[in-house]
Structure 1
């Protein structure tokens, strides 16, 4: 008889799920803790009962008895006899009954204790579900002894604080970036519409339109480049090499000298000190450039700039202070945020894109440093870029 070839369906093994059946649901942590606690108590009791029972079976005791003497009189003597099996069986039954009660009691106590200990985890689970749905406002604020669960709850609250702050910063950044990019585009659209609506527009008008569109496009390119610099600084993954901070400051001052002269601002003298830090030379140059450019652009005609570069206690400190309008103390921290300008949200020609100090702060953080801001009593701003010096320089 010819052999019929088997089909692929016949050769394939049955699905693992059908062979194994539906996956059983795992016990909860509370149930497992309860079973563990009750099992330990019951097991310890069973071992103790077994040891006592075996010991009593082999142990002989002296019991009072009677014996007939040679003269027919009676005298009390102690006979050594083994314990009767009825007594042992009764003792074993009573012990097993007590063990069952002990197991039930330990299970109830374990269930209650485990529930009380794990109650914060249930609250944390509900808060995590609420956070997953987009609401980050709920906090555990767990009270009680300082144990592992309390530490976990506090860490969870700090994580939510950080997430909420980051999300709020991201939303502000997205809104401000959209505004900064939309405004010049809308302006360009208006200029184009006005020119096209004039059928008698001259070549000179068209050239003027092209020039203004070029200026608008240049501003947009600068904003996008600044956003890329900010993203690179915030990434944390930066290239590192030895950088002479004094040389960087001198090069930036030379490049900004024409703009300072045009604005009537007296630039500071280049620093005459060797301060070597370890970091990304491009990002550090961008940070120094932003600090000094802000000091020039946010100054008053005839104003000056004070600059000091020092090395103290393993730290390099670049201090830049300028003359200018008064900066309220409550606005200092907001100056670190993207698209926030010292003179408000308005954008004026040559005032920058509002990302300067945000980039400096991000560069400082990427190099394990900090940007310190303080308002001058007579007007203007003092910014201090604090960075760790190179390890070899710190030992000097």
Structure 2
């Protein structure tokens, strides 16, 4: 933004210091005048006695009667005004010089912050201020700026990884499609039914990946309306949807808990729960596995927990599961392979609802995923349901 040139902050502070110092001097002179000089008589008074004017030089006007004279108000003004003017000029020079030096020392941390901002504006997010000294306003500003730079650097690195992974994942189905089409063109006698089936599978995977990317972007932008939602009802709907897949794999699904009201997007929270349950199903044991889904509410948070049996997970692998396009242990089966965005989308939806998502390995193998969201007032969801029912009947 183009702005007109103006006075620097250092010069403004210098003028403020000097002005305050001059104002203090003027107030001091006013106090002296009000409480001292106003009581000095306007006319000189002669005190009789054996005094000579030589004993009090400068206090007696020439041509007066012998003996001491009490100086008048005019005498005092003539004696002190030049000295006051000189002292005032000294205060002005001292205030300007001292204010300039003091303002420079005070603004040194701000100059460092400004330099760091210019460096960051050029694209170097790795630069840090690291302002030394005890905590004050400038130190808090510098620390907050360093924290912001660290988050921006991490976010930029994450976006770069995400763009590279997304490009790779999207290129794979396109390359497969191109290969299949080239084979079909070079071999006219090839069975078209098999070709169409494979193209359909590849195209379906590309569509699922694109929809997952759009959903992830929507969650990151928080572009959704908020309304009361009961996590227990959402969990039941997700389990009902994925129950055929669990039965096909020979898994047992158990659900328990109580009403867990939150405020958010019903569609996104359903997607969150569905992703967690789907992840628990496809990363389970080959047979006789179990998936547990529980909901609960605490004084300030509503909690949904999804656990599953499975292979033991290392801490190194656990820390990468929520990264986009990162897959955990090898899939037990080839169906429902996913696109590597399930937990990444769940994390983004959780953060968009101001919650936290925690991954914990189970001692016997498998994973426990705990989502904590800000709890809504109890009865809010039920009240909305009752109101909707009344409106429907009416």
Q: Aligning the two structures, in what range does the TM-score lie when normalised by the shorter sequence?
A: 0.7 to 0.9
Which of 123, 143, 147 is equivalent to 2:112? Answer: 123
Structure 1 residue matching 2:107: 3-state secondary structure: helix
Return the alpha-carbon distance in structure 2 between the equivalents of residues 388 and 66 of structure 1. Answer: 94
Which residue, out of 277, 280, 284, partners 1:292? Answer: 277
Match of 1:8 in 2: none
| Residue 149 (structure 1) aligned with residue 138 (structure 2) | yes
CA distance in 1, matches of 2:166, 2:95: 63
Query: 1:1-396, aligned counterparts within 5 Å?
Result: 25-49=5-29, 52=32, 56=37, 59-60=40-41, 79-80=69-70, 82=72, 85=75, 88-198=77-187, 201-202=188-189, 204=191, 206-264=192-250, 266-271=251-256, 273-314=258-299, 315-343=301-329, 350-393=336-379
Alpha-carbon distance between aligned partners in 2 of 1:47 and 1:375, rounded to the nearest angstrom: 73
Rounded to whole Å, the distance in 2 between the matches of 1:267 and 1:26 is 73
SS of the equivalent of 1:342 reads: coil
| CA 25–231 in structure 1, closer or farther in 2 if over 3 Å, else same | closer
Shift of 1:323: 2.2
C-alpha contact 1:45 1:99 (8 A) present in aligned 2 = yes
Give deviations 1:99-124, integer Å, cap 9, x for gaps.
Answer: 21221112111111111111111111
Change (3 A) 1:224 1:238: same
Q: Deviations over 1:111-144 (max 9, x none)?
A: 1111111111111111111111111111112222
For 2:262 and 2:159, locate their aligned partners in 1 and report how far apart those are by CA, in whole Å: 31
2:225 & 2:315 partners in 1: Cα distance? 35
Q: How high is the TM-score relative to the length of structure 2?
A: 0.81
Shift of 1:333: 2.9
Q: How many Å apart are 1:331 and its aligned residue?
A: 2.6
Report the 3-state secondary structure (helix = DSSP H, G, I; strand = E; otherwise coil) of the residue aligned with 2:304.
Answer: strand
What do the CA deviations read for 1:56-101 (whole angstroms, capped 9, x no partner)? 4872476666689xxxxxx99654453665x643422222122212
Distance 1:80 1:370, change over 3 A: closer
Question: 1:7 aligns to what?
Answer: none
Quote the Cα distance in structure 2 between the aligned partners of 1:57 and 1:378. Answer: 95
The number of equivalent residue pairs is 361
SS in 2 for 1:277: strand
Q: Deviations over 1:16-72 (max 9, x none)?
A: xxxxxxx9731110011101111221233245446657964872476666689xxxx
What's the offset of the Cα at 1:302?
1.0
- Alpha-carbon separation, structure 2, partners of 1:272 and 1:96: 85
Change (3 A) 1:40 1:356: same
Give 1:349 shift. Answer: 5.2
Aligned 8 A contact 1:290 1:360 in 2:
yes
Which runs of 5 or more residues in structure 2 are unaligned?
52-64, 383-394
Q: In structure 1, how many angstroms separate the alpha carbons of the residues matched to 2:258 and 2:27?
A: 80
Match in the other structure for 1:13: none
CA contact (8 A) 1:321 1:383 kept: yes
Q: CA deviation at 1:263?
A: 2.6
Offset at 1:273? 4.1
| Cα shift at 1:320 | 1.8
CA distance in 2, matches of 1:214, 1:188: 10
**1:305/1:320 contact within 8 Å kept:** no
TM-score norm. by structure 1 comes to 0.81
Counterpart of 1:385 in 2: which secondary structure? Answer: strand
Report if the CA contact (8 A) 1:371-1:386 is conserved: yes
Structure 1: where are the runs of 5+ without partners? Answer: 1-22, 69-74
Q: Mean Cα displacement is larger for which, 284-293 or 141-150?
A: 141-150
2:62 paired residue number: none
- 1:261 Cα shift? 2.9
Q: Which moved more, 1:95-104 or 1:51-60?
A: 51-60
1:324 match: secondary structure: coil
1:277 Cα offset (Å): 3.3
- What SS does the corresponding residue of 2:253 show, helix, strand or coil? coil
